[in-house]
Amino acid sequence: MSEFMDIITASNLTYGQKLIHLAQAAENCEHPIPTTPEFDWFFERDAICDMHEGNAPYRPRYICCDMERFARQGSDFLRLDAPDNLDDLLMNLQILYQNVPSVTGRPVYVGQLDRVFDPFLDGLSDEEILPRFKRFLNYIDRTVASGYCHANLGPEDTRAGRLLLQADAEVQNAVPNFTLKYEEGITPDDFARLALKTSMACANPAYANHRMHKHTYAAPVDGPADGYTVVSCYNVLPVRGGAYCLDRVKLSQLADLATSPEHLLNELLPNATGALLEYMDARIKFLVEDSNFFQTSFLVREGLIDRERFVGMFGMIGMHECIEKLLGPNHVYGTDPEANDLADQIMTKMTDQVQAWSAPYSEIADGHYLMHAQAGFGDQTSSTPGVRIRVGSEPEVFFDHIRHCARMHRFFKAGVSDIFPVEPTAANNVDALLDVVKGAFAIDDTYLSFYPSDSDLVRITGFLVKRSEMEKFARGEAVLADTSHDGEGNWRANNLANRKVRLG
Amino acid sequence: MSGRLSLHPRRTLRRQAFMRQLASPRLECPCSKNWVFNMSIADSLTAPVNKIIPFSLVDGPGSRTSVFLQGCNIACAYCHNPETQNLCIGCGTCVEQCPAGALTLSDGVVAWDKSACVQCDTCIHVCPHKASPKIEQLTPHEVFDIVHSYQPFIRGITVSGGECTLHPEWMRELFALCREVGLGTLIDSNGCVPLWEHEDLLEVADGVMLDVKAWNPAVFARLTGGDAETVKRNLAFLAERDKIEELRIVVVPGWNDPEQTIAGIARVLGDKVATTKLKLIRFRRFGVVGTLADAASPTDERMAELEKLARDTGFSQVELR
């Protein structure tokens, strides 16, 4: 059967999922983006990867609409008046979400919801707001149905933020993923404790180091002061903008081609990085100049996104395996100083090269692509996410693990993250979790997340899925959220059930 | 709980470096202004350290490092860590049975080769004296170096046991070092050492997590082999000094008198009962050896009754564990 017929006749995909797969297959029949022989050579050896974004990009990978602006102005194109009250606002947002594309075909960003909602809560009691928030969150979970979809909160304590946390703990959904922007001194301990209690109840939110991220991008005119938002598997992107694309060097595979660490550092890495940079240029030029997305989208016309606020993300994956292949089994990445120093050297070299490259249409990032520690997807094996330590090799002491994370985080402006399952009893001492967050962020760790080790909701690369849904899909049944597909394969392939449980 | 922490492998090297520094004219240390003073005492003073848990969720507020000292002055029937009760007497029973060959006996002393140890705990299980050969004699400075390395992830340390207040001078030194770098200092105690004789220790301690294991002296003696009167005096003394971090009663069916204990504590605390944290802990047989090895835990109903009683007595911060 053809690829198309495989999709059409599949028994484990919903109608909506078939539609998305068919659209991807159709897009991939075209090949408008030229590639260089160097790119093809590395691509064929799986050492660089286009993330299966599709051969002919007709929308940016991730779009981060300025939802606060939308809440103020409504939409001409969608014929929505500016909302007068919370109910209008909720309906307007639900309509907008249906019209925001991304690489998944659905929105990866539903807004900095506390700031969006807070001006609309006056005159309503908590008892009136909570059921509305729960319905709204269920709407996103059941319609967007993709774990890459993300909402943001904080760093300030708001009534809306508190009620959203309460609602999220009650609905126990995988979508949207939540990030709390946290900064000591701005985020009150009391609000942080509520967030951590919520994380122990439903694996949400995760925690972004606001102090480190808030100056990454200039704030949009008349827009949110911090200028950034977190989407998908922890991509730190300009709000009212987004990411054109995400492509990656697979260090784990690149190392297979290396005869020595020097060979990798001095020849393979610069060549692969250069080939990928050229490819990203071509990809972005096609999207900006030929696809007509930015020329025609009402999101641009109505100021919800600006083309000038998009960046290209230069990704990498598989540092752990790369070091293992280069130095052998006696130098375990994460705990061996020589292994860690080599990783640092690789990252420094790659980052310098990316920073020196003049990228087209990258005004918001000073004319450059930004580094992202790509966390994988699907059932890929032999590539541990980004610069994470492979499951099973984690340092014995949790704090040593975090110190290593913080050391590697400094290379990634467009996002890097770690995931820690924790003892369920930590729910009884969220102050201890708060101490860990404060300590980690004080040493410049930029992002971390927790989930209780016995939770049905678990984090895969960063996105959340329900174990119960993965099990259903593994039995051959169709499930609503297609991130359960990626999750199921990844969970098995990367041994995620055996992540070292922390705080025990 | 996390596995046992390997104590700092560079300890010996540090000691050598320290000795070299002592001989040099410039005595500076980033961690203590009183370095010369502290180290001169610390160098001669050691305590038997059973283990250090880098991160504990249950030994006081927030994220803390727990330091467990070996040796206890009482012997509770429900002791969950009986191997911490006594110091090794060098009988050698464990040496023969160690599957990893990590233990050797010479001159009546059992030596433990940490690098060869597989942490199977056979030595602990076969020990006829409720001791452990896996103990390190460490100075306050050595322990401080370890706990200091966990900053900024911890807000403080809790020293436990065994009975840690059997080493009051050692603890005072450790706590003084911790306070200099902003680490909190808590004592976990059975209350059977007269703490009123160690005011200097309390001066550098944030507070004491005090066990009140029973109230009636005969019940207390049967359960612990100790003297309830010392605990009561400590209770009054610590309350007067505002040094009670929390009080704990382990409820053991048929073995103690939690109703009388709650009432007795309340009488001693007076007005402070409302602001004192009380933890009511279910007896669990995990780790227990001897008479109570197979004893049952109290029921949820029993614990709920006691919680209600405590609240009715005036405690506003009551936690069931």
Q: Which of A228, A218, A230 is nearest to A176 (CA)?
A: A230
Determine phi and psi for A38, rounding to 5 degrees: -65, -45
Q: CATH 3.20.20.70 in chain B, residues?
A: 11-84+135-320
Q: Supply the CATH classification number for the domain B11-84+135-320.
A: 3.20.20.70
Question: What integer pLDDT is reported at residue A322 of this predicted model?
Answer: 98
3-state SS track over B290-310: HHHCCCCCCCHHHHHHHHHHH
Contact check, Cβ <8 Å, B57/A503: yes
What kind of architecture, by CATH, is found in domain B93-126? 2-Layer Sandwich (3.30)
Assign A183 a pLDDT band (cuts: 50, 70, 90).
Answer: very high
Return the closest-CA partner of residue B130 out of B178, B157, B93.
Answer: B93
- Residues in chain B with pLDDT < 50? 1-42
Q: Tokens 């890929």 correspond to what residue? A: A380
CB contacts < 8 A (A, B): 60
The interface predicted TM-score (ipTM) is 0.86
Closest residue to A435, CB basis, from B54, B63, B149: B63
Does the beta carbon of A402 lie under 8 angstroms from any beta carbon of chain B?
A: yes
Q: What distances in angstroms separate CA A127 from CA A123, A167, A170, one per listed residue?
A: 12, 11, 14
Pick among A209, A398, A405, A501 to test the B interface (most B CBs inside 10 A): A398
- CA B196 to chain A, closest CA, distance in angstroms equals 31
Query: Terminal CA-to-CA distance of chain B, rounded, Å?
Result: 16
Q: Where are the domains of chain A?
A: 56-502
Mean pLDDT lowest among A20-24, A353-357, B18-22, B132-136: B18-22
Helix (H, G, I), strand (E, B) or coil at B46: coil
In chain A, what are the helix, strand and coil shares in percent, each to the nearest 5? 45, 15, 40
Neighbours of A224 (CB within 10 A): 18
What's residue B17's pLDDT? 39
> Token digits for A354?
């990316």
Q: What is the pLDDT of residues A53-67, one digit of tens each?
A: 999 999 999 999 999
- A423: contact with B, CB 8 A cutoff: yes
CB contact residues (below 8 A), chain B span 60-79, against chain A: 61-64
CATH topology of domain A56-502: Anaerobic Ribonucleotide-triphosphate Reductase Large Chain (3.20.70)
Put simply, whether A294 touches B (Cβ < 8 Å) is no
> Given an 8 Å threshold on Cβ–Cβ distance, is A429 in contact with B5?
no
Chain A nearest-CA distance from B152, in A, is 5
Residue B172 has what pLDDT?
Answer: 98
Q: Please report residues of A whose CB lies closer than 8 A to that of B155.
A: 435
Q: What is the pLDDT of residues A316-334, one digit of tens each?
A: 999 999 999 999 999 999 9
Side-chain half-sphere CA neighbours of B117 within 13 A: 22
For A337, B63, B76, the CA distances from B54, given in Å and listed in that order, are: 21, 9, 26
Across the interface, whether the CB atoms of A399 and B61 are under 8 A apart is answered no
Spatial strand order of the sheet with B317-320 comes to B136-138, B47-56, B64-69, B156-160, B184-189, B207-211, B244-251, B277-282, B317-320
Exposure string over A30-58, b if 16+ CB within 10 A, otherwise e: eeebebeebbebbbeeebbbbbebbbbbe
Q: Say how many C-beta atoms besides its own lie within 10 A of residue B310's C-beta.
A: 26
Q: In chain A, pLDDT over 70 holds for what percent of residues?
A: 99
Distance from CA of B168 to the nearest CA of A (A): 27
Contact A425/B at CB under 8 A: yes
Give the single-character DSSP code of A33. Answer: S
Residue count of chain B, please give it. Answer: 321
Q: Could you tell me the two tokens for B126?
A: 């076969």
The minimum CA-CA distance between B53 and chain A, rounded to whole Å, is 9
A85, A215, A287, A427 from A157: Cα distances, Å:
21, 20, 39, 21
Residue B22: CB atoms within 10 A of its CB come to: 12
Per-residue pLDDT tens for A431-486?
Answer: 999 999 999 999 999 999 999 999 888 888 888 889 888 889 888 888 888 888 88
pLDDT band at A312 (very low <50, low <70, confident <90, very high): very high
| Contact with chain B for residue A431, Cβ under 8 A | yes
B191: which residues sit within 8 A by CB, 6+ positions away? B210, B211, B212, B230, B231, B234, B235
Does A142 contact B at CB distance below 8 Å? no
Question: How many Å apart are CA B206 and CA A190, to the nearest integer?
Answer: 22
**Alpha-carbon gap: B282 to the closest alpha carbon of chain A (Å):** 16
Answer yes or no: do B1 and A431 touch at CB < 8 A.
no
